[in-house]
Structure 1
Amino acid sequence: MTSPLTNWAGNVTFGMRRFHAPTSVTELRQIVAQADAVRALGTGHSFNALADTTGDLVSTADLPRTIDIDPAARTVTVSGGTRFGTLASALHGAGYALHNLGSLPHISIAGACATGTHGSGDTNGNLSSAVRVLHYVDAAGELVTLDRSSAEFAGSVVALGALGIVTHLTLDVVPAFDIQQWVYEGLPTEILRARFPEVMSAAYSVSVFTRWRGESVDQVWLRRKVDDDGPVPGPARWHGATRADKQRHPVPGMTADACTLQLGISGPSHLRLPHFRLDAAPSSRGDEFQSEYFVAREDAVAAFDALHDIRKRFAPCLRISEIRTIAADDLWLSPAHHRDSVAFHFTWLPDQRAVTAALRHIENALAPFAARPHWGKLFTLEPDALRALYPAYGPFEQLLSARDPEGVFRNNLLRRLFALEAGPKTPN
């Protein structure tokens, strides 16, 4: 008997009637046209039921691989099921790079962009902000192409798979660049609070890791862009923290075998910006849950203090927490929509009851800061609360109704989150 299909964490067992892995866009269009309920499955890195369906579940991983670089336009057109690590490696070979990368190079491009997955860096927009053209199969099985000139574009990039199944995306690229990565340990909490903007802007990409215990954070990962002056040495002490003398894993005490190279050794951006290597699993399957909340950059220290005040209510079921920054964008459902953001990420022990209780404490503490949850991770906020967090929530609901009036791409989670009323095809 075939084992049930689950997400990467193992906390969601998919309830589909049928599973498809089409090998052509024509086959994909036929599947969608004949389905009364269908969802796309990427690499399964969502921690909630966003990809689940009681109808047809479709993987795009077997569609023909496309990586088409346009040097004149500085773009790449890529098949949606491609993993970021695969794309980034191909771009590097041609002298290009993506401006930003998430902590995992294993995730699919379409899935990451559909959920507003991001990466880090004060001036770096999330992965979705690089999308220039979007190609997807709609509920009628027709191909839709949208670019930035379309009135629907900003509502269609981070769309949670609710408009259709993405076949290809065209992304902006930049010239290839190198990164040096250092890890510093024991940054005093009071220095982080007092110098938060200075700390988070100290490198091209910065991640602060903490277990919310004691009077210091565990680690700060600094990823410096190598400029024309070449690599530079990292100081032994930095804001009261000590430079690590060997490779570190974000979770103290875990082996760093799967992590990207640190110690200030420069290398291509795609081999330094992610936390983990493409050829290694970051942790055991089913060994963790994840949540994340985004607040405005100016609220960072106040939000940190609010979490610090209740840390005893969530730290016991926490593996590690990461703090990072993301630049604002104009995508309707992006957690960084119209505000430079700081994200508080939580990697949990796989204890659903304890994590649910912890999330309620965290959401209550962050409520004064209009904290937006990551769509692909665990949260407990109700639709009314979410609606208040996104100025374009209503227009997105109208777009859903116009593009998919029969709800072919809606599952139980989307039906709970979004009221679907008839509306104009192009929202006002």
Structure 2
Amino acid sequence: MSHNWAGNLRYAATRLHEPSTVDEVRRLVDGSERIRALGTRHSFNTVADTRHELLSTASLVGPVTMDADARTVTVPAGMRYGDLAQALEASGWALANLASLPHISVGGAVATGTHGSGDRTGSLASAVAALDLVTADGSLLTLRRGEPDFDGAVVSLGALGIVTAVTLDIEPSYAIEQHVIERMPLAAALDDLDAVTSAAYSVSLFTTWQDPDTIGQAWFKRRPERDAPLPAFGGVPADGERHPLPGISPVNCTPQLGAPGRWLDRLPHFRLAFTPSNGDELQSEYLVPRVHAADAIRAIRNLDSRIAPLLQVAEMRTVAADELWLSPAYGCDVLGLHFTWQPRQIEVEALLPTLEDALAPYAPRPHWGKLFSAGDVSSRYPRAADFAALRARLDPSGKFGNKFLERHLPRD
């Protein structure tokens, strides 16, 4: 059976289906005892795994339908964000945000609460206006923003059914400038994180924690028509293009040096036409309420000697609050503390309990698609009981369940 993008997980499923139509999905779901959806496989844990059947959404075909009046676009769930972005740009439209990688699928990113960055910009899931869902009996259910079950069904971890199409909010196309500031004092973020993260439309702070008092690179993605001139915050503007990993060629990164360009060519960190790495990495991320951000960063800094030997690079980004029940940004603005680890899984997994203990006072919610050690995390989500009830109603037999859900969001 196939493996995930990073190669650290081989799926246990007995069969992989690759339907191209919604009718095929409906027949497969109706005829299966247990089945799970699989996107572009950019998850580092078993969230999509099953010992039964997997259904890839990558081959689902369908039109990209834009509604200019409603300012929405409807796309197949397996479509990659980079491909969608090109279709939108060709018609003069844009998404409000993109993740670091444009290679990920719309359905998979939405289902796990994946995000880009921006003080006033929500996760990718917050842009969902409607979705089509094949439920346990093979029927097709459409849920729209404002309907009672909608907020529980968007970030659903595949637990409610197979999402076949997603409708997203769009806006007129816009330009982005990308600037990199190097060697910024960490104190700039600790003393006034709001000033740093509000200085551009999207901000990413990178560090290897080799120097615990310095942010190695700060990437500022500005909308020239909106954002004020960019301060250096005690750092130095980069004199050339950079890769987030020190010493790595920036050839597969998106253009920098302040040159304005299309939103789709600047919001991701990496170009769609290139593979950003060979998958030789592991990832973890914890999202903490914005009010705890500085203390959470200090807690990480106190572990720098434990973290740095296993780390490739760490990234800090902000995400605006939403009302999606299982979103890590549910109910409050958050700071994401992201770790790209070396592919040393035994050592990384041994460190994660220590890392999570250090963050525990700050109410961290782990990213659903990345490595974490916590077990039942339902107490961190105020609407977890409502989600369990929704799941029981839409999937009473547990057709879409797996061990990941049993461990982290038990039904009872």
Q: Could you say whether these structures have the same fold, taking a TM-score greater than 0.5 normalized by the shorter chain as the test?
A: yes
Match of 1:250 among 244, 260, 279: 244
Structure 1 match to 2:170: 173
Match of 1:219 among 217, 220, 225: 217
Structure 1 position 228, deviation (Å): 7.7
Percent sequence identity is 49
Structure 2 match to 1:156: 153
Q: Distance in 1 between matches of 2:229 and 2:359?
A: 38
User: Which amino acid in structure 2 is aligned with residue 320 of structure 1?
Assistant: V
Q: Distance in 2 between matches of 1:410 and 1:228?
A: 45
Structure 1 position 420, deviation (Å): 2.1
Could you tell me which runs of 5 or more consecutive residues in structure 2 were left unpaired when the two chains were aligned: none
Structure 1 position 234, deviation (Å): 6.0
Q: Distance in 2 between matches of 1:354 and 1:191?
A: 32
Kept after mapping to 2: 8 A contact 1:187/1:220: yes
Structure 2 match to 1:380: 373
Structure 2 match to 1:307: 300
Match of 1:354 among 347, 353, 370: 347
Per-residue CA distance 1:58-85 (angstroms, 9 max, x = gap): 1111111321000011000111000001
Q: Distance in 1 between matches of 2:354 and 2:121?
A: 30
Structure 2 match to 1:424: none
Structure 1 position 347, deviation (Å): 0.2
Structure 1 position 354, deviation (Å): 1.1
Structure 1 match to 2:410: 419
Per-residue CA distance 1:172-230 (angstroms, 9 max, x = gap): 1011110000111000112221121101111000000011122211100000002189x
Q: Distance in 2 between matches of 1:271 and 1:419?
A: 41
1:40-119 correspondence runs (5 A): 40-119=37-116
Per-residue CA distance 1:62-116 (angstroms, 9 max, x = gap): 1113210000110001110000011111111111100011000000000000000
Structure 1 match to 2:21: 24
Q: Distance in 2 between matches of 1:54 and 1:189?
A: 45
Change (3 A) 1:353 1:138: same
Structure 1 position 345, deviation (Å): 0.3
CA RMSD of the aligned region, Å? 1.3
User: Which amino acid in structure 2 is aligned with residue 374 of structure 1?
Assistant: H
Structure 2 match to 1:408: 399
Match of 2:33 among 18, 29, 36: 36
Structure 1 position 373, deviation (Å): 0.3
Structure 1 position 402, deviation (Å): 1.2
User: Which amino acid in structure 1 is aligned with residue 368 of structure 2?
Assistant: W
* TM-score scaled by length of structure 2: 0.98
Structure 1 position 158, deviation (Å): 0.1
User: Which amino acid in structure 2 is aligned with residue 348 of structure 1?
Assistant: W
Q: Which moved more, 1:214-223 or 1:331-340?
A: 214-223
Q: Which moved more, 1:390-399 or 1:115-124?
A: 390-399
Q: Distance in 1 between matches of 2:135 and 2:216?
A: 46
Change (3 A) 1:380 1:228: closer
Matched, 1:147 2:138: no
Structure 2 match to 1:323: 316
Q: Distance in 1 between matches of 2:345 and 2:61?
A: 38
Change (3 A) 1:233 1:153: closer
Q: Which moved more, 1:125-134 or 1:387-396?
A: 387-396
Matched, 1:339 2:339: no
Q: Distance in 2 between matches of 1:191 and 1:82?
A: 39
Kept after mapping to 2: 8 A contact 1:207/1:322: yes
Change (3 A) 1:182 1:228: closer
SS at match of 1:416: helix
User: Which amino acid in structure 1 is aligned with residue 268 of structure 2?
Assistant: P
Structure 1 position 359, deviation (Å): 1.1
Kept after mapping to 2: 8 A contact 1:114/1:159: yes
Structure 1 position 418, deviation (Å): 2.5
Q: Distance in 2 between matches of 1:406 and 1:173?
A: 37
Kept after mapping to 2: 8 A contact 1:65/1:82: no
Structure 1 position 34, deviation (Å): 0.4
User: Which amino acid in structure 2 is aligned with residue 101 of structure 1?
Assistant: L
User: Which amino acid in structure 2 is aligned with residue 217 of structure 1?
Assistant: I
Q: Distance in 1 between matches of 2:263 and 2:152?
A: 30
SS at match of 1:257: helix
Could you tell me which runs of 5 or more consecutive residues in structure 1 were left unpaired when the two chains were aligned: 422-428
Q: Name segments (4+ residues, structure 1) moved above 3 Å.
A: 232-235
Match of 1:262 among 256, 259, 263: 256
Match of 1:277 among 271, 289, 307: 271
Q: Distance in 2 between matches of 1:65 and 1:359?
A: 41
Structure 1 position 295, deviation (Å): 0.7
Structure 1 match to 2:282: 289
Structure 2 match to 1:425: none
Change (3 A) 1:228 1:220: closer
User: Which amino acid in structure 1 is aligned with residue 341 of structure 2?
Assistant: W
Per-residue CA distance 1:16-46 (angstroms, 9 max, x = gap): 1111111111111111100001011100001
SS at match of 1:220: strand
Q: Distance in 1 between matches of 2:291 and 2:60?
A: 43
Structure 1 position 233, deviation (Å): 7.9
User: Which amino acid in structure 2 is aligned with residue 87 of structure 1?
Assistant: L
SS at match of 2:168: strand
User: Which amino acid in structure 2 is aligned with residue 39 of structure 1?
Assistant: R
Structure 2 match to 1:426: none
Q: Distance in 2 between matches of 1:294 and 1:379?
A: 12
Per-residue CA distance 1:258-284 (angstroms, 9 max, x = gap): 100001111111110000011100111
Q: Distance in 2 between matches of 1:121 and 1:52?
A: 31
Match of 1:124 among 121, 125, 128: 121
Q: Distance in 2 between matches of 1:209 and 1:111?
A: 25
Change (3 A) 1:209 1:406: same
User: Which amino acid in structure 1 is aligned with residue 308 of structure 2?
Assistant: A
